[in-house]
């Protein structure tokens, strides 16, 4: 009987240590930022209103996936709604879209953004430097009801 009580106390102690140690662990975050060519369908929609060559149009794609662990909840992701690629008045961002904070499953949240832009005067290095100033903001609550936050630079993830 004493062994059973000792074993139960040991297991409860072990569970308590796990809860305390894992309580401040951040969620698992996966970020994908890449540049693709626009599809023929997208180009056909764009060329009706603008005079761009298909070769100069690029699609900047940002996707963030977060998987919560057992010890956190209320995870939200925020990506800037607008990304200014050009500092001059000739902003050549053609179109954009995406979705926000879509619950994929009970412990997985996803956000996606894309913009189609004229890449004729913008190198990948220039784009990376511009995107470094834009942040992905992730917030969550721990089991002890503490608010936590993590910021990631979009430019750091550009492939």
Cβ atoms within 10 Å of 144's Cβ, excluding its own:
10
> Is residue 5 situated within a structural domain?
no
> Is residue 132 situated within a structural domain?
yes
> Is residue 62 situated within a structural domain?
yes
Runs of H (alpha helix) within 23-123: 40-47
> Is residue 20 situated within a structural domain?
no
Compute the distance between CA of residue 150 and CA of residue 157 in angstroms, rounded to an integer.
Answer: 15
> Is residue 6 situated within a structural domain?
no
Mean predicted confidence (pLDDT) in 10-29: 78
Q: Into how many domains does the chain fold?
A: 1
> Is residue 111 situated within a structural domain?
yes
> Is residue 95 situated within a structural domain?
yes
Specify the 3-state DSSP secondary structure of 56: coil
> 110, 68 in Cβ contact below 8 A?
no
Mean predicted confidence (pLDDT) in 13-21: 76
Sign of the C-alpha dihedral, residues 87, 88, 93, 97?
Answer: positive
Mean predicted confidence (pLDDT) in 21-31: 77
> Is residue 18 situated within a structural domain?
no
The token pair at 58 is 């690029």
Runs of H (alpha helix) within the chain: 2-22, 40-47, 124-131
pLDDT at site 24? 67
With 50 as the cut, is the pLDDT of residue 75 above it?
yes
Mean predicted confidence (pLDDT) in 47-56: 77
Q: 141-156: per-residue pLDDT in tens? A: 887 788 888 899 998 9
The domain containing residue 90 runs over which residues?
A: 26-157
| Strongest mean pLDDT among 20-24, 120-124, 126-130 | 126-130
């Amino acid at each position: 009987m004493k062994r059973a009580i000792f074993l139960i106390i040991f297991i409860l102690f072990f569970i308590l240590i796990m809860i305390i140690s894992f309580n401040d662990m951040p969620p698992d975050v996966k970020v994908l930022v890449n540049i693709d060519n626009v599809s023929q369908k997208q180009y056909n929609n764009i060329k009706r209103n603008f005079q761009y060559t298909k070769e100069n149009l690029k699609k900047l794609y940002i996707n963030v996936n977060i998987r919560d662990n057992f010890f956190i909840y209320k995870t939200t992701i925020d990506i800037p709604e607008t990304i200014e690629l050009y500092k001059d008045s000739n902003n050549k961002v053609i179109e954009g879209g995406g979705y926000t904070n879509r619950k994929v499953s009970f412990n997985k949240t996803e956000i996606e953004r894309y913009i189609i832009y004229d890449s004729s005067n913008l190198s990948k290095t220039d784009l990376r430097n511009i995107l470094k100033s834009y942040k992905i903001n992730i917030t969550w609550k721990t089991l002890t009801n503490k608010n936590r936050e993590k910021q990631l630079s979009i430019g750091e993830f550009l492939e």
